[in-house]
Each structure stands twice: as structure tokens, then as C-alpha cells.
Structure 1
Amino acid sequence: MPRKPREKSRFGIYHVILRGVNKQIIFEENEDYLQFIRILKKYKEVCEFKLYAYCLMDNHVHLLMEQTTTDLGTIMKRIEVKFVKWYNRKYKRIGYLFQDRYKSEPINDEGYFRTVFRYIHQNPLHAGLETAVGTYRWSSYYDYAISQSSFVDIDKAINLFQSNEKCIEYLQYISDEKCMEYNSLSRLSDTEALKIIHKKTSCESASDFQHLDRTLRNQYLQKLHYSGISIRQLSRLTGISRTAINNAIRERTI
């Protein structure tokens, strides 16, 4: 079956996601994150694209970018090939690292630009990797916080909010808006979900979950839900009621 053509942005602006094949970890060490950023910087100069936001998670990457002289497909191919060659050499492996093609969605208005901009910067919060927006190291938040970019094009977003202070205020307001990544997640099997539960929590069974104190339990539930486990599946595998899980997730978005 032929691939569906990518939807084009009227302004050349896209939200792009690169995901590890089979959801595998693609950043094992700090050096891996730094190398990806070096490659991103290099091809930003070579391909002359604009970068408005980025976030490097352990098994996927978010980019908010605008193509100018080079089309998006060429840009992403160069970035992927360069990083995979480096990664395979470092870890003495062969084969694919990224899952299928990169995913992209067009940004066609300022409202959705704002939504994606915040979604990318709050990804670590919703994944349980930080407890306050902006404390996660591997994103472009710091460029906006100090209003000085090393290579991120911060002016467009700041101008949208009229000042850097209002831009940061917007990023700090916790939102549960969902973008492409969330909508495109496939349903996990119970086996896959259990592997995630065992990896991200100290629990080996539903009984372990039910003996946790409420604060830690809710932190785990938030983290697991944003890892792609549905509320219904979480309830079934942990023994926690759907109402309690819903309440735990809402705590993060208030």
C-alpha cells in the first residue's frame, strides 16, 4: 500500500517527531544528546532551516522547525543518517535506529504554533522527567528563559507573545493539550505496558501499586499514562480505579 503523502504547511513550518525503532532508547548518555545537538546545529547552517523549539527525550525527538531553501525530507534524512552512523559506530551496532519515517504535522496558524511550542517544552513534565517546567536539560527552554539563543531562532515565538516574560509565562502554564505524538500512538499490548510499568516504577505487581503512598502512586500513574498506557489499561494492570487514575492525571494539569 503506498504511503500517504505528507500534508504541506502553507508557511513551511512543521512539528517533527523522530522515534526510536520499537520505541528503543536512542540517548543512553549525555554525549548522545550533545552529539545530536551538534548535528542539528550543523545541518541548520547547511540547510538553512529555522528552529523554533526542540526537546530530546530518551527515545524520541521533537522539533518545531521551518524549511526555507531545503525541503524537510532532505533536512531530516541528513540529520538521521549522520546521527545513526555516529551512534552505530559508538555502540558497535548495525541497522536502523529510527522508526520508519519521521512524523510531521503542518503548522498553518499562530494558534497551533503556540500549542505545539508549549507541548514540546512540557513533554518532559508530562513524562515525569521534571517536576517544574524548564528544569529538564535537553530542550530549548533555556534559550527562551535567558532570551539568548545559541542556535534556536527565539525571536518569532517571543514576538508572538510580545515579550520574553509573557512567552515564559505561557510555557509555565500547565496544559493538557495533545499534539501529533499523542494522537498517533498505537495501542500497547499488556505485555508491552507491563514492561513500561516495571521499567518506570518500583512495582512488580498490582499489589505493590496498592501499597504505595498516594503521592508516589499518582506520580507513577502520571508518568505511565504519558508513556502511552491508556487509563483503562492502567486500571486493569495496577488495580487502581479509573476514577483515581483520572484524578491523578488531572493533578498534573491543574
Structure 2
Amino acid sequence: MELEVLEKDNYYHIYNRGINGGIIFFNEENKNFFLRQLGKYLEDKISIFGYCLMDNHYHLIVRLNDNGKEVTQAFSNFFNSYAKSINKENDRTGSLFEKHFKRIRLEDEQYLKQLIVYVHLNPKHHLDLKFEEYKYSSYQSFLSQKETKLEREEVLNLFGEIENFIFFHNQKNDLLTEKYTFE
């Protein structure tokens, strides 16, 4: 599989999982550390439109603010620093993540909106948790008035207003619940 080349001013779904589907976040502090390292390595290079950290995988929705080669290297440095820290903490060796991080260029606004909702619903889909209460997703940050590094205003404008943002999430959640209840 050929990897998508990252290009400035484009939106991407960045994701990966643990090697062989294994755990990459062993505790809450690991998830907090991942988010801190993301800021440390990529804060000025990307804008973040959504994220979700699950125990064995992560999703990031970003727009590149810098040239693709520089951002790709920054992502590589970020993931390497995280993996080295986790390996040291857990007395393990070898790869933490499956191969290279995956990336899909988002071609239109509709896909961007659907992806934001999909990423936020991950806790419901994978763990049957209430996505609205999940701590390691960007969903709550979009509803909050607290300062954030997320592109809150831009995302809410994408949905028209905060009520539509909530509506789209609840509508997809209802469809997801029906799908898994009746299959």
C-alpha cells in the first residue's frame, strides 16, 4: 500500500493501531502524554479538527499548516518519542505501532463532517461507552467554553451551529445503536 503524501493546506485523517492490534495506551497518563507530545511536536505545523484515543488505536483529523515533508517528519518524531517512552515504562522492546501511520486526504467538506462524527463515536462503537462522556475524544472540547488548541470555531461553523453539531452526533449514534441492536 502506497502512503498518501502529505501536502500543506490539505485535511487528513491520521490513524494507526498497536502492533497486532495490541494496546498502545496502557493507562490514562499514557493518553495525556500522547496529547502533550502531539502538541510539543506538531502544535504549529497542524490544526486539529478532532481526535479520539482508544486503548489500541487513535484517530486524528488535521489540516497541514506547514510543508508536507516537515510535517511527516514531525509526526514520525512524535510517534517515535511516544513509542520509546511506552517501551521504557512497560519494559518492552520493538514496535508499538503497526508500520507507518496511515493517512487519508479528505477531499470535501461533507467527508470532513462525517469523519468528525465517526471519530467521536468510536467509544460507542468499540466499547459501548457513552461517546458524550468519553474523556479522550475532542467531542467535549467542542461543547466547552474552556480554551482549547482545537479548531473549535471552524468545526462548529462547519456544522452551522453547536445545536447541529450535537444533532448530527446523536443522529449517527442512534443509527449506530440500531445497527448493532438488530444485526
Q: Give the TM-score normalised by the residue count of structure 1.
A: 0.64
CA distance in 2, matches of 1:174, 1:66: 24
CA radius of gyration, larger in: 1
1:134 to 123, 129, 132: 132
AA in 2 matched with 1:166:
N
Hey, what does 2:180 align to over in structure 1? 249
* RMSD of aligned Cα (Å): 2.5
Hey, what does 1:89 align to over in structure 2? 88
- Structure 1 residue runs of 5 or longer lacking an equivalent are 179-221, 223-246
2:54 equivalent to 1:54: no
CA distance in 1, matches of 2:179, 2:169: 22
CA distance in 2, matches of 1:110, 1:20: 29
Hey, what does 1:102 align to over in structure 2? 101
Please list the CA deviations of residues 122-158 of structure 1 after superposition, one character each: whole Å capped at 9, or x if unmatched.
Answer: 011111341x331111110111121444221212111
The answer to which structure has the higher strand fraction is 2
Asked whether the 8 Å contact 2:42–2:75 carries over to 1, the reply is: no
Query: Number of aligned pairs?
Result: 181
Please list the CA deviations of residues 179-219 of structure 1 after superposition, one character each: whole Å capped at 9, or x if unmatched.
Answer: xxxxxxxxxxxxxxxxxxxxxxxxxxxxxxxxxxxxxxxxx
Q: Relative CO higher for 1 or 2, CA cutoff 8 Å, sep ≥ 6?
A: 2
Asked whether the 8 Å contact 1:52–1:153 carries over to 2, the reply is: yes
CA distance in 1, matches of 2:114, 2:67: 25
Asked whether the 8 Å contact 2:124–2:131 carries over to 1, the reply is: yes
Where do residues 25-44 of structure 1 align in structure 2 (5 Å cutoff)?
A: 25-44=23-42
CA distance in 2, matches of 1:126, 1:157: 22
Asked whether the 8 Å contact 1:9–1:106 carries over to 2, the reply is: no
1:24 to 18, 22, 25: 22
Q: Give the TM-score normalised by the residue count of structure 2.
A: 0.87
AA in 2 matched with 1:136:
Y
